[in-house]
Amino acid sequence: DVKVTQSSRYLVKRTGEKVFLECVQDMDHENMFWYRQDPGLGLRLIYFSYDVKMKEKGDIPEGYSVSREKKERFSLILESASTNQTSMYLCASSLPGPDSGNTIYFGEGSWLTVV
Amino acid sequence: AQKITQTQPGMFVQEKEAVTLDCTYDTSDPSYGLFWYKQPSSGEMIFLIYQGSYDQQNATEGRYSLNFQKARKSANLVISASQLGDSAMYFCAISFPGAGSYQLTFGKGTKLSVIP
């Protein structure tokens, strides 16, 4: 059974803390993505990576960074968490190509609350 | 920049009736893909249907069909014979060539409620 695993489902962090969200996929996919999902705003792309050590900014990269040292792992980092980063974060992986959306698999999501 | 617009924040449909969820897109790339996903209250994202920009025929998958009108840049999802289990958020998405690979942009979603 293919899987995208997000290590933490629910987190509560304090303003200013450094936060790591980890994502691991077991499908040998080239592409990996981090989205955040907010009510009424849909899924917005934060960063994506199409290869090890390669990363590209998405639509809302401010306040976030990412790391991809191994093909199967893609980490999202909040250097200094703020309350407006309270959200649900979704990791995904896919094969490359224009039909990549039908090979995309999502994790279960990480609910982050910053207080 | 690529853009996806879903104009219906919420929709209601009677059980066993058909419903159309609207999606329009904007892109200058000739090669792209259009997708619909379902997100139940449990949170997982479920792939429903795919349409490639060069596909001549509308995609169908069981009770789901995609009404693709390329000139109008629309990719509406039609669900036939609605079931109570169809109640969920529905997202339209477009894949387009970005730096290094194709990436996906999602719309804001439509919340579908099926009434018994």
Question: What average pLDDT does the segment B19-47 reach?
Answer: 91
Contacts of A52 in chain B (CB under 8 A): none
Q: Are B87 and B39 in contact (CB under 8 A)?
A: no
Q: DSSP E strands: which ranges in B1-116? A: 3-5, 10-14, 19-21, 24-26, 33-39, 46-52, 60-61, 64-69, 74-79, 88-97, 102-106, 110-115
Q: What is the DSSP letter of B59?
A: P
- Tell me the nearest-neighbour CA distance from B101 into chain A, angstroms: 6
Contacts of B93 in chain A (CB under 8 A): 101
Report yes or no: B5 at the A interface, CB cutoff 8 Å: no
Closest by CA position to B23, among listed B115, B110, B111: B110
pLDDT computed for residue B100 by the predictor:
67
pLDDT computed for residue B92 by the predictor:
96
Contacts of A36 in chain B (CB under 8 A): none
Distance CA B32, CA A37 (A): 23
Q: What is the DSSP letter of B58?
A: P
Which residue positions in chain A have pLDDT lower than 50?
none
Question: What average pLDDT does the segment B55-68 reach?
Answer: 94
pLDDT computed for residue A2 by the predictor:
63
Distance CA A1, CA B58 (A): 30
Q: Are A96 and A31 in contact (CB under 8 A)?
A: yes
pLDDT computed for residue A47 by the predictor:
95
A98/B53 touch (CB, cutoff 8 Å), yes or no = yes
pLDDT digits (tens, 9 = 90+) for A53-78: 899 999 899 999 999 999 999 999 99
Min mean pLDDT across A104-113, B7-16, B61-70 is at: A104-113
Report yes or no: B67 at the A interface, CB cutoff 8 Å: no
In the structure, what pLDDT confidence band is assigned to residue B43 with cuts at 50, 70 and 90? confident
A54/B91 touch (CB, cutoff 8 Å), yes or no = no
* Maximum C-alpha span of chain A: 40
- In Å, what is the CA distance from B16 to each residue of B63, B87, B114, B115? 11, 13, 9, 9
Name which of A3, A9, A29, A43 to mutate to probe chain B: the one with the most chain B Cβ atoms within 10 A of its Cβ: A43
Closest by CA position to B95, among listed B10, B39, B7, B33: B33
Question: What average pLDDT does the segment B7-18 reach?
Answer: 96
